[in-house]
Amino acid sequence: MRLVFIHGINNQDSTVGEIRDNWMSALLQGWKDLGLSPKKPYSAEAAYYADILAAASDGRNAAVEMGGGDVSSGLATEFLRVYSEAAGVTEEELRAAAVAEGLDPKVVEQGIPHEGWVIAFAKALERVLPTKGKYIAKLFLRQAAVYIGDPVLAAKIARTVTSQVFERKPDPTIVIGHSLGSVVAYRLLADDAFAGRSFPLFVTIGSPLGVDMFRPILPKKAALPKPPIARWINGRNKVDFVTLGKAITRKSIGFDGIDDITDVIDNEADRHDIVAYLSSPKIARAVFEAIENSN
């Protein structure tokens, strides 16, 4: 059995080895707490696209930053709108934060968020959210908005992840995606090119896939892609703002059948913490059982 880890946002300061070891350590701790130790063999590897995502969202290289009012940048601005409204941020508050970020007041007057300034307005929203008691993972809005708004970037990330952990690699495979990585992972696993693969367990944690506005960029499926996914569990902390507290349902993704797990370890300092998610008993046990039930 292979374990494949697909990271999310803000991992550009970590190496692929550090990500793999950190995630595996969290799982091992979860198993230890449960008194479990896999008897079946398994290996662990991580995909790595953090450098690509960071370069695209630094405010200089991102195609979506140039705006132009196309459909893609419209999705990025709608994404920011959804999170802004969920936090109860007013237009006035966001305008003030945008000016504080150094945007020209004349640009701000054109509307929030303005399609030509997606990254700058994401930074402005990140600035004001803590004043609303909403602590979101660092860089989530910026990096997620760029990913959503730039299909060329998303395709590059998909190719990178595929070549690293799927191409010419054996199955069965347990795939675990955190944060934006859950979106990257699902888009791959639901692609027709993966229909012949074997994924006994797909784990999403801290996932924004329950947020309706992601649906336009997802494969159109009327049922759980089975095969290749035999079982899908989604772990979410109800106060992890990245998830907006939402389960992944038919409304957001097009079908039912995803096991929703909200009984997770609560790291109050970081509700989006990968270590807390992976060491949570129900998630750790599900991964353990998938390994032990493998042929």
pLDDT, tens digit, for every residue of 148-180?
888 999 999 999 999 999 999 999 999 999 999
Q: Which residue in this structure is represented by tokens 């060491």?
A: 279
What Å distances lie between residue 164 and 10, 157, 159, 232, 261, CA to CA? 19, 11, 9, 22, 29
| Distance between CA atoms of residues 170 and 156, nearest Å | 23
Q: Is the pLDDT of residue 111 over 70?
A: no
Is residue 161 within 8 Å of residue 176, measured between CB atoms? no
**180-189 and 151-165 are packed helices; what angle lies between their axes, rounded to 10 degrees?**
70
Is residue 210 within 8 Å of residue 246, measured between CB atoms? yes
Q: Is the pLDDT of residue 106 over 90?
A: no
Per the model's pLDDT, the better-predicted residue between 124 and 45 turns out to be: 45
Is residue 186 within 8 Å of residue 204, measured between CB atoms? yes
pLDDT, tens digit, for every residue of 207-235?
999 998 888 899 999 999 999 999 999 99
Domains in the chain and their CATH numbers? Answer: 2-54+151-292 (3.40.50.1820), 61-149 (no CATH)
pLDDT, tens digit, for every residue of 1-37?
999 999 999 899 999 999 999 999 999 999 999 999 9
Could you give the 3-state DSSP secondary structure of residue 100?
helix
Q: What is the DSSP letter of 258?
A: P
Closest CA to 188 of 153, 211, 164, 161: 161
- The CA-based diameter of the chain, rounded to the nearest angstrom, is 64
